[in-house]
Amino acid sequence: MNIDEKDIIELSDNNSYYVARKARYNNTTYYCVVDTKTKKDVKFLYELNNELIEVEDQATLDKLLTIMSRKDDKLNLLRILRNEINNKKE
């Protein structure tokens, strides 16, 4: 797959998502995407056999938050993503 940061992709839920971050971790490519309409639906995805799969493992999500957050991020992505994950737990 050839997906880069700032791309817009459509997922199986028929929503468009902005690719906010892309990173390699444990030989897997991960993406952090944000719904383009609501700006609230944040997902972590990974590539597997040319498909995008949502990350559900909490330990992996925690690691990805650290990897994908940047100190210079003006939108404070780390805070936003942690809030989104906490909301999913409830």
Q: What percent of the chain has pLDDT over 70?
A: 77
- How would you classify residue 56: left for phi > 0, otherwise alpha for psi between -120 and 50, otherwise beta? alpha
Among residues 21, 23, 24, 47, which one has the least CA distance to residue 34? Answer: 21
Write out the two tokens for 90.
């409830």
Residue 70: what residue type? Answer: R
- Give the pLDDT score at 46: 96
- Give the pLDDT score at 74: 42
How much is the pTM? 0.75
Higher pLDDT, 77 or 62: 62
| pLDDT tens-digit series, residues 18-27 | 999 999 889 9
Confidence of residue 57 (pLDDT cuts 50, 70, 90): very high
Confidence of residue 16 (pLDDT cuts 50, 70, 90): very high
Map out the domains of the chain as residue ranges. 8-89
